[in-house]
Amino acid sequence: MTKSSPKGEEGRALIVDDDRSVAQMYRLKLELDGYLVDVATDGEMAVEMARRDLPDIIFLDIRLRTLDGFGVLEALRSNPKTKKTRVVILSNYSHREMGDRVAKPGILDHLIKSETTPDKMTAGITR
């Protein structure tokens, strides 16, 4: 788990990715945007942190250890405290590979990592 607390905190974000270098890159961008950022490196950690810290938005990878991204999303949606938390899927799966699974309520967007720069990741996201 990694935490950071930039000056002028305006929102809380959780990045869920088992690739620490990718998570760090996106974390830095979110910090520059004024977020307090936490990083979870597996699915179970993500669910625990989301329930405890109640982030405003979660950037969620699908392929994770212990519990995949869909399992994380299901756990979040079944808990009243995290049921309405905004989620952006950030994975290497294409839209075709994901199919209807990303059309679930509460998923703001599906971004493909290889096509998403840190600037594109936060474009259009409001707090």
What is the CB neighbour count within 10 angstroms for residue 12? 18
**Residue 91 and residue 116: Cα distance in Å, rounded?**
10
* Residue 113: band (very low, low, confident or very high) from pLDDT cuts 50, 70, 90: confident
Instruction: List, for residues 46-94, the tens digit of each pLDDT value.
Output: 999 999 999 999 999 988 988 999 899 999 999 999 999 999 888 765 5
Residue 67 is classified by DSSP as S
Q: Whole-structure pTM over 0.85, yes or no?
A: no
Which of 109 and 86 is assigned the larger pLDDT?
A: 86
